[in-house]
Amino acid sequence: MLGGAIVVETIFTLPGLGRMTLDAVLERNYPVVQSGLLVVGAMFMLVNLATDVLYGAHRSEAPPAMSGRTSAVALTGLAVVVAARALAVAGAAGAAGQPDRDHQ
């Protein structure tokens, strides 16, 4: 996702997140690189989450063979996935704010 943005923005000289990240890499501006990758990762996870939720809403009719217990297990699995994604975003956001130990 970011690779395509970098190529398109560089070829057509468009301002954007890909170009900003590439410039930051070339200038060794690590906080900007981390922030750019965090934003791209968060966007990727949010789009995947929205797709999963919309697909689940579209397929809300359970087949006749599914019982209430199976639906509860599926909802529990969805809750675990959502919690894991939220923790990943929170952990990445916390790591982005850590001081650089090499330059103290």
Q: What is the mean pLDDT of residues 77-89?
A: 72
Q: What is the mean pLDDT of residues 27-46?
A: 87
Look at residue 68 in the predicted model and tell me its pLDDT. Answer: 56
The token pair at 24 is 């930051």
Domain count of the fold of the chain: 1
| Residue 103 in domain | no
| Residue 104 in domain | no
pTM of the predicted model as reported, rounded to 2 decimal places = 0.51
Diameter of the chain measured on Cα atoms: 63
Q: What is the mean pLDDT of residues 31-45?
A: 86
- For the chain, the average pLDDT equals 74
What confidence tens digit (pLDDT) does each residue in 59-77 have? 766 555 555 555 666 777 7
| Residue 94 in domain | yes
